[in-house]
Amino acid sequence: MRRDWANRAAMTDARINLHADFASVIDTALTALEAAGTLPAGLPRGAVTCEPPRDPSHGDLSTNAAMVLAKPAGTNPRALAALLVAELEKEPRVVSAEIAGPGFINLRLTDDAWRGELALIAQSAADYGRSQMGGGRVVNVEYVSANPTGPMHMGHCRGAVVGDALADLLAYAGHKVIKEYYVNDAGAQVDVLARSVHMRYLEALGQSIEIPEGLYPGDYLVPVGQALVEEFGDTYKEAPESDWLILFRTRAVAAMMDMIRADLATLGIRHDLFSSEAELQASGKVDAAEQYLRSHDLIYDGLLEAPKGKTLDDWEPVELPLFRSTKFGDDQDRPIKKSNGAWTYFGADLAYHFQKSQNADALVDIWGADHAGTVKRIKAAVAALTSAEGGTAKPFEVKLVQMVQLLRDGQPVKMSKRAGTFVTLSDVVDEVGKDVVRFTMLTRKPDAQMDFDFAKVVEASKDNPVFYVQYAHARICRNLKKGADEGFMPSAENLGLLGEEELALVKLAAQFPRTVEAAAVAREPHRIAFFLHDLASAFHSYYNLGNDRPEKRFIVAHDSALTAARLFLAAQIGQVVRNGLALLGVVAAEEL
RNA sequence: GCGCCCGUAGCUCAGCAGGAUAGAGCACCAGAUUCCUAAUCUGGGGGCCAUGGGUUCGAAUCCCGUCGGGCGCACCA
């Protein structure tokens, strides 16, 4: 009996997975046809795909090459398909190559090819699915960046989870990733924070206080006030604001960031880098960016146009330093400084992105949809800053995460930090757990709005799809343990005993690497979540075959060779589930 | 008025850079537990893919219009 899988496992030092491998098999076949003069040289291969057909009865792999290339090759799809089929049939792992429909070529691979993939999973283990696609390029992913004025609330949750999963996904796909958080500690809102903390400071000194309208009333500031009393006594009780504002602001921001870091930690999120807007401004980097852009005539002093679609009674045109974002497709040029001389948010943000771009090959920002209006100007700024002296602009994407509508029993929850009415992230995580929160946020694409009914999620957390996937993993672990207890160890010795139903599981698991790459390219981590659900579903189905057909169980006591092969299969499916869950930051528990 | 996002089963959502007969979960109906623990499985009903055009071998997917929903349109952050 041939043992192709073993040979392949031995010779594929590079550990090429089957899907990636066959994309190159098709490519090679086309090259051969071109070399033989059968096809014109230089056909555009960009649109050629190699993927499993939706309907598995069509075969293991399918390519559209004949349909896509027929026109440029000056022939018809089926004729081209016939040529390609003849070439592909030379590949030893191809059992059959058939032309179907308008010109699809469906490939059926030998069972040993799939057994080889199973062995590859075992060999690669935690690295099965890892890709070199990113080529080590440095990608900066900035996400969360919530204002340091209070604890994280559920409005921040989606961007936090999506950003974190995306960062991990890009890293897994071969990028060097920097996870960054931009701390907005320079605007008016942190002065409001400082004044709010001063009230709590007075309170801690025994005064009875009433938080005025416009300050943050949340009691999470109480301990900050108490800490300031412990450190400074009543020094700032009667002092004018100018004496304490900066000190209180600094202490308050630090306290808020500690709180935010703790909140993020409950979701398993840890940033590599926290960049302070205040420090950025103090370092002179904003001025430097302005000078740079001025020297390329991308910033000029001009009159700010009145906002469109809005009538402001007190609108007066003023001259401000403006960035020429219209040159890059924005609706109007944007001010980088206010009339009082302070930087606008945009002015500082522009310099911040310049700084990021100098330390990375590509930038990704995760923003809430409520900031969609500012995407054009910041993209314009990055394009200007990174290509003002020619060359192509640094790749920069803004990924918008749509709003999460928070509900409680179907009723919208109005969240306001100023009113102190918001659902905190840690409340929800405490209630339903990190895994449920992460998985819930990752089982939909980010650019559609979603409802998050707090009560419903708490109540239905046991029905959450995350448990479905985790249960599959736990089932696998339990069976491996049971097998070990009975003296059976997984082994690749007799994978030939695995038949069609078992190999169907392998075929699905084998799609993990290409799913990782596709998800990374599209910046869509949710694809991993759906893949895992599909894989878990296939596993559960297979597992239940054993209910009526004991010979289909993983452990078949009288057949140790079969049991060893089945347990090997189970172990590898578990490995893929584990790899996927790890990517999503969800625990792959061994028992539930 | 302008910009961005969305519209797929009763509900919540997938649909893999245009592919073959549009899928899953929940809910509903009917079944499977002396079993490798059923947090599971099997089967069933349920769709003008909002709508009208266009592009092509082929459109839920790309382009334009319309309708509907969301977000935004400060020198705020």
Q: Which nucleotides of B are covered by protein (CB under 7 A)?
A: 1-7, 12-21, 24-27, 32, 35-42, 57-58, 69-77
Supply angle C-alpha A533, A179, A371, rounded to 5.
85
How many Cβ atoms sit within 10 Å of the Cβ of residue A32?
Answer: 14
Residue at shortest CA–C1' distance from B2: A309
pLDDT digits (tens, 9 = 90+) for A248-304: 999 999 999 999 999 999 999 999 999 999 999 999 999 999 999 999 999 999 988
CB of A179 closer than 8 Å to CB of A170: no
pTM: 0.93
Q: Which residue has the tokens 């430097």?
A: A288
Cα dihedral A486, A488, A490, A494 sign: negative
Name beta bridge partners: A227: none
Angle subtended by helix axes A560-584 and A154-172, to nearest 10: 120
How far apart are the C-alpha atoms of A61 and A486, rounded to whole Å? Answer: 39
- CA of A377, C1' of B68: distance in angstroms: 29
DSSP string across A355-381 = HHHHT-SEEEEEEEGGGGGGHHHHHHH
How far apart are the C-alpha atoms of A184 and A85, rounded to whole Å? Answer: 60
How far apart are the C-alpha atoms of A319 and A300, rounded to whole Å? Answer: 10
Residue A490 has pLDDT above 80, yes or no: yes
Q: Which nucleotide lies nearest residue A547, CA to C1'?
A: B35
Residues with Cβ within 8 Å of residue A113, at least 6 apart in sequence = A4, A5, A8, A18, A93
DSSP string across A38-60 = SS-TT---TT--EE--SSGGG-S
How far apart are the C-alpha atoms of A97 and A81, rounded to whole Å? Answer: 10
How far apart are the C-alpha atoms of A400 and A402, rounded to whole Å? Answer: 6
Is strand B in 7 Å reach of the CB of A545? yes
**ipTM score for this prediction:** 0.95
Q: Which token pair is A589?
A: 């528990």
Is strand B in 7 Å reach of the CB of A410? no
What are the strands, taking DSSP E only, across A444-533? 450-453
pLDDT digits (tens, 9 = 90+) for A120-129: 999 999 999 9
- CA of A557, C1' of B35: distance in angstroms: 15
Residues 144-163, chain A, CB closer than 7 Å to nucleic strand B? 147
pLDDT digits (tens, 9 = 90+) for A355-399: 999 999 999 999 998 898 899 999 999 999 998 888 888 999 999
- CA of A472, C1' of B12: distance in angstroms: 23
Name beta bridge partners: A401: A368
**pLDDT at residue A3 in the model:** 34
Nearest residue to A514 via CA among A131, A242, A196, A187 = A131
Q: Which nucleotide lies nearest residue A515, CA to C1'?
A: B16
pLDDT digits (tens, 9 = 90+) for A506-564: 999 999 999 999 999 999 999 999 999 999 999 999 999 998 889 999 999 999 999 99
